[in-house]
Amino acid sequence: MTTTVTWVKTIEAAAVTRDGVARAQAGGQRLALYAVDGVYYATSDVCTHGQAFLSDGYLDGHLIECPLHQGLFDVRTGAAVGAPCTVALRSFPVKLEDGFLHVQVA
């Protein structure tokens, strides 16, 4: 069985401020998009612990802090790295094309 890989156009890269976070939708997924040191990352926008939106959180380097209980995730991998969060976020490949961020969804 082959999996179809689809790149979905989301938002303009300029909407993600340097070292910032923005929300978007792609393939029925609510996403948080991050810009860290000139590299773009995407994860699920919903915290796996408290059902808060990470796009409302605080980005410090590669770590996004959940605005509800201050749990931490690594935006590069989605890994939960700070209590009370223990379950990783889903992460998605991102590419910049024609000024827009495209996210790979299966």
Assign residue 21 the CATH number of its domain: 2.102.10.10
The predicted pLDDT at position 2 comes to 63
pLDDT value at residue 1: 60
pTM of the model: 0.91
Parent domain of 90: 7-100
Which helix (DSSP H) or strand (DSSP E) does residue 95 occupy?
strand 94-97
Domain membership of residue 66 (yes or no) is: yes
Task: Specify if 30 maps to a domain.
Answer: yes
| b/e code 15-47 from CB counts within 10 Å (16+ = b) | ebeeeebbbbebeebebbbbbbeeebbbbbbbb
pLDDT mean by block of 10 residues, the chain; 106 residues: 80 91 92 95 94 94 95 97 94 96 90
Total structural domains in the chain?
Answer: 1
Dihedral Cα 26, 53, 44, 28, nearest 10 deg:
-30
Residue 105 lies in a domain: no
Is 106 contained in some domain?
no
Task: Give tens-digit pLDDT for 9-31.
Answer: 999 999 998 888 999 999 888 99
Query: Which pLDDT does position 51 carry in this prediction?
Result: 84
CA dist 74 and 70 (Å) reads 13
The number of angstroms, rounded, from the C-alpha of 91 to the middle of its chain's C-alpha atoms is 7
